[in-house]
A = this chain, B = another copy of it.
Amino acid sequence: MNFFDLIKKRSSIRAYKERPVSEEQVEKLLNAANSAPSAGNLQSYKILVIRSEEVREKLVKAAHGQKFLSQAPVVFAFLQDKERSRDKYGDRGEFYSLQDGTIAATYLQLAAVELGLGSCWIGAFDDEAVIDALPSSKRPLALLPVGYPARTSRNDSVRRELEEIAEFIE
């Protein structure tokens, strides 16, 4: 699948089959995230790979009841490691580390599509409640439940017109 077909295929999947995601698939997904660019190649983020049902249930509550977080066999939580970036870049490190984790999550989500899996980017959660659910005090940037899509879907969300998002400076 070339990249243009891949992004056409990607859509927000909110219902998953019970079929598990294998260790090997998880490793491929993590390797994809790990190859994302980052400021100064510092990779100032942390990824928690959550299979625990108890923790996933807590994440549902932290994410205002988004139930499919507990239905997906695995959830990837991307956390910002701002101290790591701050050590080298000072205040700007906070911005860099937020981007580092975001780019890595984007890579993981696209790799999931390549593997025939689906996911949904969740950014709507209570930071403190997520932190309480996890063994880390770092700021959560994204929660990505991943699993086999329960139904076929296509990316048919309407997007803004190019004329509206882009401006040309010749």
Contact = CB atoms under 8 A, between A and B. Distances in A.
Interface stretch (A14-22, A145-153, A162-170): A162-170
A49 to B, nearest CB: 5
Interface string A21-35: 000000110111111
Number of copies: 2
Interface string A133-166: 0111000011000000000000101111010011
A158 to B, nearest CB: 8
Interface residues of A, number: 65
A35 B155 contact: yes
Interface of A: 1-4, 6-8, 10, 12, 27-28, 30-37, 39, 41, 43, 45-52, 55, 92, 95-96, 98-99, 102-103, 106-107, 109-111, 113-114, 121, 123-124, 134-136, 141-142, 155, 157-160, 162, 165-170
